[in-house]
Amino acid sequence: YADKVEGVFATVFRQAAMYRFEQRCHETRRAEGELSPEQFGNLWHEELQAMFAESVTLGEQHRMWWSYVGHFIFAPFYVYAYSFGELLVLSLYQMAKAEGPSFEGKYLEMLTLGGSKSPEELMAIVGVDLGDEAFWRGGFAAMEALVTEFERLWAEQKSV
């Protein structure tokens, strides 16, 4: 269960930090010119450290980890798709729980259309407006529920 919680957080928050790193690299390049590996490392370190806040202190060796992410070179700004997908699925899951069996038919219809329609058109089938903040908050609520359940399981395990 801990792996699931960790995976969801890594997908949503780490990928968002990577996106912010990529944005800052491009902004800095436009403002200052070519960046050195050290500058990339500093930007990487700042964005990832911000994600962890005071819970984890990243070491100096972490500064070069940006270089292992091929997306930055081969598919710029692709990393957003991971956070988007994770939150989309979690939010749809919240909808499915709330609507019950009536959600299934709409969901299956959406899936059968595959890539034949835009994401906005596909989500409209299940009643989702991708611009609606409330929909996305459902994904964060699902994350919170995962953490709450993990904490309950941990407390239960500790008392055994």
- Considering the domain architecture, whether residues 73 and 141 belong to the same structural domain is answered as no
Q: Residue 18 CB: number of other CB atoms within 10 A?
A: 24
pTM > 0.85: yes or no: no
Q: In this structure, which amino acid lies at residue 104?
A: E
Domain end position, chosen among 58, 78, 98: 78
Q: How confident is the model at residue 1 (pLDDT cuts 50, 70, 90)?
A: confident
Domain that holds residue 59: 2-78
- Considering the domain architecture, whether residues 17 and 73 belong to the same structural domain is answered as yes
> What are the tens digits of pLDDT across the range 54-83?
999 999 999 999 999 988 989 999 998 999
- Considering the domain architecture, whether residues 92 and 148 belong to the same structural domain is answered as yes
Which residues are within 8 A (CB) of 133 and not within 5 positions of it... i.e. 6 or more apart?
Answer: none
Q: Please tell me the total count of domains within the chain.
A: 2
- Considering the domain architecture, whether residues 91 and 73 belong to the same structural domain is answered as no
- Considering the domain architecture, whether residues 56 and 102 belong to the same structural domain is answered as no
